[in-house]
């Protein structure tokens, strides 16, 4: 029985995507820029299995009732294959799933790579990007290492801006809750596009933020990247919060983390934060400041745990037989 194992790491957006242009093909309404991180990972094992009739997906050991958001990705990938043998897909995350830590991005990126390999599809980079985006709008970014630009200004394109070793910043993840989010990103984006009065401005201003972040990353200009990243993150949360019903993904501990980050900044340490559709706070800092930042964040009451990460590799095959 042929078996392939792949790994992909989550990515955290600095310039975020929130809203779709086309919900059938799952195309984002805007470009985005992210950091692929290390430490957290999704591992996928795929086995071609003659004894099962349909594809089966196990997530963290639990058989899923249906393929859900994986279905369009799998259908697209199968369209390149002559065979129709069923696949047993086993995915494991070494971190909480659906809690705002981009588990769908890393999970889908690892699955795209593993299917490409096991069905011997030899897909181009563009085809892998398309397959990943069908499952999750942020998943193509986890195919690539380091700082990544998902550019949809013309054709969808995704590429690394800087490799991890070119600007080895640190990411400190403050887990404030490990519960799954109440409203999925997919559902939340639909609600925001339909109801937030700030949605059009959010979309119109994105290119400006992308330009500033690209320049900051290429120049390794930490303070400019900090300023545009926090601005963009806060605008996304304003869009979420002004949706009807309001989408509040943060909690009290998230807010207390932000206060502590402001104190750390005032003490002269350069750091910034970003927060996605979940209450976790991701802090970006320079390597030399990591220990100080962690010890200061430990003072915030009720943080569940703190995880230290660096910039990570793109999705990869780790074993095939
Ligand atoms: O890829 P999705 O559909 O899970 O959406 C990701 C949305 C955010 O994480 C909030 C922003 C982003 O660009 O990653």
Where in the chain are all domains bearing CATH 3.30.70.890?
Answer: 166-310
Statement: residue 289 has pLDDT above 80:
yes
Rounded Cα gap, residues 146 and 162, in angstroms: 6
Q: Is the CB of 177 under 6 A from ligand 1?
A: no
For residues 114-137, give the mean pLDDT.
96
Concatenate the DSSP letters of all residues of 165-205 into one string. GGS--EEEEEE---SPPSS-HHHHHHHHHHH-TTHHHHHHT
How far is ligand 1, taken at its centre, from the CA of residue 55, in Å?
26
More confident residue, 182 or 246: 246
Quote the ligand 1 centre to 276 CA distance (angstroms). 7
Identify which of 99, 137, 213 to mutate to test ligand 1's pocket (most ligand atoms within 8 A of the CB).
Answer: 137
Q: What is the pLDDT of residues 132-143, one digit of tens each?
A: 999 999 999 999
Position 82 pLDDT exceeds 90: no
Instruction: Tell me, using a 6 A CB cutoff, whether residue 138 lines ligand 1.
Output: yes
Average pLDDT over residues 93-120: 92
pLDDT in tens, 172-203: 999 999 888 789 999 999 999 999 999 999 99
CB-based burial, 246-277: b 16+ in 10 Å, e otherwise: ebebbbebbebbeebbeebeeeebebbbbbbb
Lowest mean pLDDT: which of 53-57, 171-175, 198-202, 314-318? Answer: 53-57
For range 86-92, the mean pLDDT: 95
pLDDT (mean) for 66-83: 92
CATH topology of domain 166-310: Alpha-Beta Plaits (3.30.70)
- What pLDDT score does 84 carry? 78
In the chain, the percentage of residues whose pLDDT exceeds 70 is: 99
- Please name the residue whose Cα sits nearest to atom 6 of ligand 1: 138
Please give the pLDDT value at position 321: 66
Whether residue 53 has pLDDT greater than 90? no
Strand order in the sheet with 281-285: 271-274, 281-285, 170-175, 305-310
Q: Is 105 in the pocket of ligand 1 (CB under 6 A)?
A: yes
Closest CA to 37 of 229, 305, 316, 309: 309
Q: What pLDDT sits at residue 179?
A: 84
Residue among 42, 185, 213 to mutate when testing ligand 1 (max atoms within 8 A of CB): 185
Distance 292 CA to ligand 1 centre (A): 29
**Cis? peptide before 108, omega within 30° of 0:** no
Residues of the chain with CATH 3.30.230.10: 2-164
Structure tokens at 138: 């942020």
Tell me the C-alpha distance between 210 and 206, whole Å: 6
C-alpha 74/C-alpha 134 separation (Å) is 9
- Bridge partners of 57, per DSSP, are 89
Query: What is the reported pTM?
Result: 0.96
CATH class for the region spanning 2-164: alpha beta
Angle at 239 between CA 238 and CA 242, to 5 degrees: 80
Q: What is the pLDDT of residue 88?
A: 95
Query: What is the Å distance from ligand 1's center to 140 Cα?
Result: 11
Which protein residue's CA is at the shortest distance from atom 14 of ligand 1? 13
Rounded to the nearest 5 percent, the helix, strand and coil shares of the chain are 35, 25, 40
Buried/exposed 79-95: b ≥16 CB within 10 Å, e otherwise? eeeeeeeebbbbbbbeb
| Distance between Cα 264 and ligand 1 center (Å) | 27
Asked if 115 contacts 84 with a C-beta cutoff of 8 angstroms, the reply is: no
CA of 32 to the centre of ligand 1 (A): 9
> What is the whole-number distance in angstroms between the Cα of residue 136 and the centre of ligand 1?
8
Q: How confident is residue 52, by pLDDT bands cut at 50, 70 and 90?
A: confident
Phi, psi of 312 (to 5 degrees): -120, 175
Say what the pLDDT of residue 311 is. 98
User: What number is the average pLDDT over the span 62-83?
Assistant: 93
Decide: 177 and 99 in contact? Cβ < 8 Å.
Answer: yes
Tell me the mean pLDDT in the region 76-88.
90
Q: Which atom of ligand 1 is nearest to the CA of 15?
A: 13
């Amino acid at each position: 029985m042929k078996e392939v194992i792949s790994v992909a790491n989550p990515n955290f957006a600095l310039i975020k995507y929130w809203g779709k242009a086309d919900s059938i093909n799952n195309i984002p309404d805007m470009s985005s820029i992210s950091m692929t991180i290390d430490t957290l990972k999704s591992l996928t094992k795929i086995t071609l299995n003659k004894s099962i009739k349909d594809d089966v997906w196990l997530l963290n050991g639990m058989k899923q009732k249906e393929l859900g958001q994986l279905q369009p990705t799998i259908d697209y990938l199968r369209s390149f294959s002559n065979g129709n043998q069923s696949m047993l897909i086993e995915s494991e995350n070494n971190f909480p799933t659906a809690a705002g830590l981009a588990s769908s991005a890393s999970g889908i990126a690892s699955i795209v790579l593993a299917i490409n390999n096991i069905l011997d599809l030899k897909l181009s980079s563009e085809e892998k990007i398309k397959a990943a985006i069908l499952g999750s709008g942020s998943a193509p970014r986890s195919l690539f290492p380091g700082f990544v630009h998902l550019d949809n200004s013309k054709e969808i394109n995704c590429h690394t801006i800087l490799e991890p070793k070119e600007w080895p910043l640190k990411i400190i993840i403050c887990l404030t809750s490990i519960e799954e989010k109440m409203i999925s990103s997919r559902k939340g984006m639909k609600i925001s596009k339909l109801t937030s009065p700030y949605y059009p401005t959010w979309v119109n201003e994105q290119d400006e933020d992308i330009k500033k972040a690209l320049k900051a990353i290429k120049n390794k200009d930490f303070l400019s990247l900090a300023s545009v990243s926090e601005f963009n993150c806060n605008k996304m949360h304003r869009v979420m919060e002004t949706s009807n019903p309001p989408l509040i993904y943060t909690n009290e501990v998230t807010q207390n983390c932000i206060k502590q980050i402001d104190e750390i900044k005032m003490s002269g340490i350069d750091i910034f934060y970003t927060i996605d559709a979940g209450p976790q706070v991701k802090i970006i800092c320079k390597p030399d400041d990591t220990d100080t930042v962690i010890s200061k964040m430990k003072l915030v009451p009720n943080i569940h745990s703190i995880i230290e990460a660096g910039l990570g590799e793109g999705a990869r095959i780790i074993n095939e037989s």
